[in-house]
């Protein structure tokens, strides 16, 4: 409300920034450079899944060029599922598709979707792969959509910190032009709730012999996760489906019903 802070207020996006999740990062330097990139665009929630050299990491701190608030606030997780549990919309950044049936968007369109979810009051995140081989299919399956960069096919070589820089820049650009937050009365489920539904379904199907071909079981399970993960359900709808599954199991367990 004062003239002194007028310019800053205009620049500050009204939407909660996404969490940045690094899957098994190897080099502390890259974690630090990613933190520096984040801080430039006001993104501070850094989550590390099993960083190779442990945590805290002095090399990461040194490479952050003073973004110590990001480094010091970083949280470490044992699994990616735990790292994204509270998020309702997750973008996976990867250029390796390997026959995934996941929707692919450019950074601009992907971040518009993310900002729309954030505007509804739900938490969001962006997932980045390890340095050499990117994201595994099982990791991408946990995301809502894939974002790829419009790189030259003849020379595509972005490291993890460069990808974080581009995505956080684009987030801020999109967020500054986004409509103001407006709490969604019918919010989407968190990734934990989607994973819970999937695990429930797998548990129901397992004894029925649905996954009886051992060489296909992993593929079939991942495919179910993709199907559930992509559905545009509300949190309430996911709860309803959990109830349906529970009801089916109860009936299957009841001998009187086996007629």
Contact 34, 65 (CB under 8 A): no
112 part of the interface to its own copies, by CB under 8 A: no
Using the minimum distance from each CB to its own copies, give the nearer residue, 41 or 128: 41
Least distance to its own copies from the beta carbon of 83, Å?
24
The pair of three-digit structure tokens given for residue 206, joined into one six-digit string: 């397992």
- How far is Cα 139 from Cα 96, in angstroms, rounded to an integer? 12
Least distance to its own copies from the beta carbon of 129, Å?
16
Least distance to its own copies from the beta carbon of 177, Å?
9
Least distance to its own copies from the beta carbon of 38, Å?
9
Q: Which of 1, 78, 132, 154 binds its own copies (CB under 8 A)?
A: 154
Q: Which of 59, 112, 173, 239 binds its own copies (CB under 8 A)?
A: 173
Least distance to its own copies from the beta carbon of 171, Å?
10
142 part of the interface to its own copies, by CB under 8 A: no
Using the minimum distance from each CB to its own copies, give the nearer residue, 166 or 245: 166
The pair of three-digit structure tokens given for residue 162, joined into one six-digit string: 């460069």
Among positions 28-67, residues that touch its own copies (CB under 8 A) are 36-37, 39-42, 65-67
Part of the chain binding its own copies (CB under 8 A), chosen from 50-58, 118-126, 149-157, 189-197: 149-157
Contact 103, 146 (CB under 8 A): yes
Question: Rounded to an integer, what is the distance from CA 20 to the centroid of its chain?
Answer: 8
With tokens 């390890």, the residue in question is 130
Among positions 182-211, residues that touch its own copies (CB under 8 A) are none
Q: Which of 16, 76, 81, 158 binds its own copies (CB under 8 A)?
A: 158
The contacts found for 199-203 with CB under 8 angstroms, 24 or more apart, are: 200/242, 200/245, 200/246, 201/228, 201/245, 203/249
Which has the closest alpha carbon to 76: 98, 51, 59, 97?
51
Q: In sequence order, which residues have a C-beta less than 8 Å from that of residue 17 and are 6 or more positions away?
A: 41, 42, 43, 44, 45, 168, 171, 175
Quote the strand ranges of 129-185, DSSP E: 145-147
Judged by the rule CB under 8 A, the positions of this chain that interact with its own copies are 7-8, 11-12, 36-37, 39-42, 65-67, 106-108, 149-158, 162, 165-166, 169, 172-173, 176
């Amino acid at each position: 409300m004062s003239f002194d802070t007028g310019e800053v207020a205009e620049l500050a996006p009204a939407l909660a920034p996404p969490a940045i999740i690094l899957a098994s990062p190897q080099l502390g330097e890259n974690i630090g450079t990613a933190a520096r990139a984040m801080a430039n665009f006001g993104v501070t929630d850094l989550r590390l899944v099993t960083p190779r050299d442990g945590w805290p990491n002095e090399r990461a701190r040194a490479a952050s060029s003073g973004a110590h608030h990001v480094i010091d606030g970083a949280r470490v997780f044992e699994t990616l599922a735990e790292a994204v549990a509270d998020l309702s919309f997750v973008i996976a950044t990867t250029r390796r598709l390997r026959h995934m049936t996941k929707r692919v968007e450019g950074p601009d369109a992907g971040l518009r979707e993310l900002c729309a979810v954030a505007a509804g009051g739900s938490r969001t995140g962006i997932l980045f792969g390890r340095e050499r081989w990117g994201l595994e299919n099982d990791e991408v399956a946990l995301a809502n959509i894939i974002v790829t960069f419009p790189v030259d096919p003849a020379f595509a070589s972005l490291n993890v910190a460069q990808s974080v820089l581009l995505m956080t820049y684009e987030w801020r650009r999109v967020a500054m032009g986004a409509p103001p937050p407006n709490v969604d009365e019918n919010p989407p489920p968190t990734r934990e709730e989607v994973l819970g539904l999937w695990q429930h379904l797998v548990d129901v199907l397992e004894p029925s012999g649905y996954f009886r071909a051992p060489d296909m079981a992993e593929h079939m399970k991942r495919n179910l996760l993709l199907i559930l993960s992509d559905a545009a359900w509300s949190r309430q709808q996911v709860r309803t489906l959990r109830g349906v599954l529970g009801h089916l199991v109860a009936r299957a367990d009841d001998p009187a019903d086996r007629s």
